[in-house]
Structure 1
Amino acid sequence: MASPLSLLIIESDSSEVFRLIREVKANGFSPLYQVVSKAEEWEEKIEEEDWDVILCGMNWPDEKTIHDFLRFLKDRQIDIPFLLIAEKSKYETALQMMKEGAADIIDHSTLFRLPHVLERERRELVFRREKEITANYLEQSLKEIQVQKFALDQANIVSTTDANGIITYVNDKFIQASGYSKEELIGQSHRILKSQDRTKEEWYDLWETIQNGKVWKGEIRNTKKDGTSFWVETTIVPFSAEDGSIFQYIAIHNEITNRKLAEEQLTHDAFYDSLTELPNRALFLARVEQKISEYNLFQKGFPIVFSINIDNFKRINHSLGNESGDEILVIYAKRLLKLCDPSAIVTRLGADSFAVLVTDCFSIEEGTEIANKLLENLKEIIPFQGYEIFLTASCGIASYGMAGKDGENILKNAEIAMFHSKSSKVGTVSVFNQRMQEKINYQLEIQNDLKKAIEKNEFIVYYQPIFDLAANEICHWEALIRWRHPKKGMVSPTDFIPMAEDSGLIVSLTKFVLEESALFAKKMREESNYKFSVAVNLSPQVFLDQNIFHWVVDIQQRLGVPYECLQVEITESLAMKNLSETIPILSNLKDIGVKIALDDFGTGYSSLAYLEKLPLSTVKIDKSFLNNVIPGSKEAILLVSIIHMAHGLGYKVVAEGVEDISQFHLLREYECDLIQGYLLSKPLSLEDAVSFLENFTGIQE
Structure 2
Amino acid sequence: MGSPLCILIVASDQEEVFRIIREIKSQGFSPLYQVAMSKEDWDKRIHEEDWDSILVSFRWNPVIPPMNLLLDLKSKQLDIPFIIISHPENYNESLKLMSAGAADIIDATNLFRLTHVLERERRELVFRREKEVTQSYLEKSLKEIQFQNYAVDQANIVSITDASGIITYVNDKFVQISGFSENELIGSSHRILKSQEKSKEDWENFWQTIRQGKVWHGEIKNTKKDGSSYWVETTIVPFEDDDGSVFQYIAIHHDITNRKLAEGQLTHDAFYDNLTELPNRALFLARIEQRIFEYNSNQGGFPIVISLNLDNFRRINHSLGSTAGDDILRIFADRINKFCGISAITTRLTADSFAVLVVDFLSIEEGLDFAIRLQDHLKEIIPYRGYDLYLTASFGLAGFGMGGKEAEEILKNAEIAMFHTKENKVGSICTFSEDMKEKIHYQLEIQNDLRKGIERSEFIVFYQPILDLKSNEIGHWEALVRWKHPKKGMVSPIDFIPMAENSGLILPLTKFVLEETAKFIQSVLETRGKTIVVAVNLSPQVFQHQNIFHWMVDIKQRYEIPYETIQVEITESLAMKNMEETVPILENLRDIGVKIALDDFGTGYSSLSYLEKLPLSIVKIDKSFLNNVTAGSKEAKLLVSIIYMAHDLGLKVVAEGVEEIAQFKLLGEFKCDMIQGYLIAKPLSREDANHFLEKFTGQIY
Q: TM-score, with normalisation over the residues of structure 2? A: 0.52
Q: CA deviation at 1:541?
A: 3.8
Q: Which residue of 2 aligns with 1:307?
A: 307
Q: Which residue of 2 aligns with 1:543?
A: 543
Change (3 A) 1:605 1:594: same
Is the CA contact (8 Å cut-off) linking 1:576 and 1:606 kept in structure 2? no
Letter matched to residue 405 of structure 1: K
Q: Which residue of 2 aligns with 1:57?
A: none
Q: Which residue of 1 aligns with 2:292?
A: 292
Change (3 A) 1:650 1:197: farther
Is the CA contact (8 Å cut-off) linking 1:570 and 1:599 kept in structure 2? yes
Change (3 A) 1:402 1:564: same
Q: Where do 1:519-598 residues align within 5 Å?
A: 519-528=519-528, 531-598=531-598
Q: Which residue of 2 aligns with 1:353?
A: 353
Q: CA deviation at 1:316?
A: 7.3
Change (3 A) 1:619 1:384: farther
Q: CA deviation at 1:652?
A: 3.8
Q: Which residue of 2 aligns with 1:512?
A: 512
Is the CA contact (8 Å cut-off) linking 2:473 and 2:698 kept in structure 1? yes
Is the CA contact (8 Å cut-off) linking 1:655 and 1:672 kept in structure 2? yes
What SS class does the counterpart of residue 612 from structure 1 fall into?
helix
Counterpart CA distance in 2 for 1:476 and 1:319 is 41
Change (3 A) 1:557 1:369: same
Q: CA deviation at 1:567?
A: 1.1
Change (3 A) 1:199 1:377: closer
Is the CA contact (8 Å cut-off) linking 1:319 and 1:573 kept in structure 2? no
Cα-to-partner distance string for 1:86-106 (whole Å, 9 max, x where unaligned): xxxxxxxxxxxxxxxxxxxxx
Cα-to-partner distance string for 1:162-203 (whole Å, 9 max, x where unaligned): xxxxxxxxxxxxxxxxxxxxxxxxxxxxxxxxxx95744999
What SS class does the counterpart of residue 398 from structure 1 fall into?
strand
Letter matched to residue 690 of structure 2: V
Is the CA contact (8 Å cut-off) linking 1:315 and 1:573 kept in structure 2? no
Cα-to-partner distance string for 1:410-468 (whole Å, 9 max, x where unaligned): 11122233334455665665443444444444444433433332232221112233444
Cα-to-partner distance string for 1:108-154 (whole Å, 9 max, x where unaligned): xxxxxxxxxxxxxxxxxxxxxxxxxxxxxxxxxxxxxxxxxxxxxxx
Is the CA contact (8 Å cut-off) linking 1:575 and 1:582 kept in structure 2? yes
Letter matched to residue 571 of structure 2: T
Counterpart CA distance in 2 for 1:414 and 1:463 is 42
Counterpart CA distance in 2 for 1:633 and 1:402 is 52
Change (3 A) 1:653 1:285: farther
Counterpart CA distance in 2 for 1:651 and 1:645 is 9
Letter matched to residue 562 of structure 1: P
Query: Which has the larger Rg?
Result: 2
Is the CA contact (8 Å cut-off) linking 2:310 and 2:353 kept in structure 1? yes
Letter matched to residue 414 of structure 1: A
Change (3 A) 1:410 1:671: farther
Letter matched to residue 687 of structure 1: E
Change (3 A) 1:489 1:649: same
Q: CA deviation at 1:594?
A: 0.3
Q: CA deviation at 1:345?
A: 4.5
Is the CA contact (8 Å cut-off) linking 2:563 and 2:592 kept in structure 1? yes
Is the CA contact (8 Å cut-off) linking 1:278 and 1:347 kept in structure 2? yes
Q: Which residue of 2 aligns with 1:396?
A: 396
Q: Which residue of 1 aligns with 2:612?
A: 612
Higher mean Cα deviation, 331-340 or 271-280? Answer: 331-340
Counterpart CA distance in 1 for 2:385 and 2:696 is 53
Counterpart CA distance in 2 for 1:300 and 1:660 is 64
Counterpart CA distance in 2 for 1:441 and 1:607 is 39
Q: CA deviation at 1:305?
A: 2.2
Higher mean Cα deviation, 474-483 or 561-570? Answer: 474-483
What SS class does the counterpart of residue 684 from structure 2 fall into?
coil
Matched, 1:464 2:461: no
Matched, 1:485 2:477: no
Counterpart CA distance in 2 for 1:638 and 1:265 is 65
Cα-to-partner distance string for 1:468-503 (whole Å, 9 max, x where unaligned): 455555443221222212222222334433443444
Q: Which residue of 1 aligns with 2:690?
A: 690
What SS class does the counterpart of residue 556 from structure 2 fall into?
helix
Cα-to-partner distance string for 1:383-407 (whole Å, 9 max, x where unaligned): 9999998877654332111222222
Higher mean Cα deviation, 624-633 or 670-679? Answer: 624-633
Change (3 A) 1:286 1:548: same
Change (3 A) 1:591 1:352: same
Percentage identity across paired residues of the two chains:
70
Letter matched to residue 493 of structure 1: P
Letter matched to residue 477 of structure 1: W
Higher mean Cα deviation, 466-475 or 638-647? Answer: 638-647
Q: CA deviation at 1:685?
A: 2.2
What SS class does the counterpart of residue 684 from structure 1 fall into?
coil
Change (3 A) 1:363 1:587: same
Is the CA contact (8 Å cut-off) linking 2:396 and 2:414 kept in structure 1? yes
Counterpart CA distance in 1 for 2:319 and 2:643 is 24
Cα-to-partner distance string for 1:7-36 (whole Å, 9 max, x where unaligned): xxxxxxxxxxxxxxxxxxxxxxxxxxxxxx
Is the CA contact (8 Å cut-off) linking 1:573 and 1:606 kept in structure 2? no
Is the CA contact (8 Å cut-off) linking 1:318 and 1:577 kept in structure 2? no
Letter matched to residue 349 of structure 2: L
Change (3 A) 1:581 1:417: same
Q: CA deviation at 1:667?
A: 6.1
Letter matched to residue 556 of structure 1: K
Change (3 A) 1:288 1:455: same
Is the CA contact (8 Å cut-off) linking 1:318 and 1:578 kept in structure 2? no
Letter matched to residue 411 of structure 1: L
Segments of structure 2 that go 5 or more residues without pairing to the other structure are 1-195, 204-226, 228-263
Q: Which residue of 1 aligns with 2:5?
A: none
Is the CA contact (8 Å cut-off) linking 1:311 and 1:394 kept in structure 2? yes
Cα-to-partner distance string for 1:348-406 (whole Å, 9 max, x where unaligned): 32234333434454433454566577768878999999999887765433211122222
Counterpart CA distance in 2 for 1:384 and 1:658 is 50
Counting matched residue pairs gives: 450
Counterpart CA distance in 2 for 1:414 and 1:603 is 32
What SS class does the counterpart of residue 615 from structure 2 fall into?
coil
Is the CA contact (8 Å cut-off) linking 2:447 and 2:503 kept in structure 1? no
What SS class does the counterpart of residue 403 from structure 1 fall into?
coil
Change (3 A) 1:199 1:327: closer
Cα-to-partner distance string for 1:604-636 (whole Å, 9 max, x where unaligned): 569765553332223445556667778999988
Change (3 A) 1:490 1:300: same
Letter matched to residue 510 of structure 2: T
What SS class does the counterpart of residue 545 from structure 2 fall into?
coil
Q: Which residue of 2 aligns with 1:67?
A: none
Q: CA deviation at 1:408?
A: 1.4
Counterpart CA distance in 2 for 1:697 and 1:319 is 55
Higher mean Cα deviation, 396-405 or 279-288? Answer: 279-288
Counterpart CA distance in 1 for 2:605 and 2:518 is 32
What SS class does the counterpart of residue 544 from structure 1 fall into?
helix
Is the CA contact (8 Å cut-off) linking 2:307 and 2:395 kept in structure 1? yes
What SS class does the counterpart of residue 568 from structure 1 fall into?
strand
Cα-to-partner distance string for 1:644-692 (whole Å, 9 max, x where unaligned): 6655554444454555566667766776554444454443322333344
Counterpart CA distance in 2 for 1:344 and 1:639 is 55
Q: TM-score, with normalisation over the residues of structure 1? A: 0.52
Q: CA deviation at 1:510?
A: 1.6
Q: What is the root-mean-square deviation of aligned Cα atoms in Å?
A: 4.9
Q: Where do 1:327-476 residues align within 5 Å?
A: 345-368=345-368, 394-423=394-423, 429-468=429-468, 473-476=473-476
Q: CA deviation at 1:319?
A: 8.0
Change (3 A) 1:610 1:288: farther
Cα-to-partner distance string for 1:499-536 (whole Å, 9 max, x where unaligned): 43444433222221101112222333443466432121
What SS class does the counterpart of residue 613 from structure 2 fall into?
coil
Counterpart CA distance in 2 for 1:634 and 1:381 is 40
Letter matched to residue 486 of structure 1: P
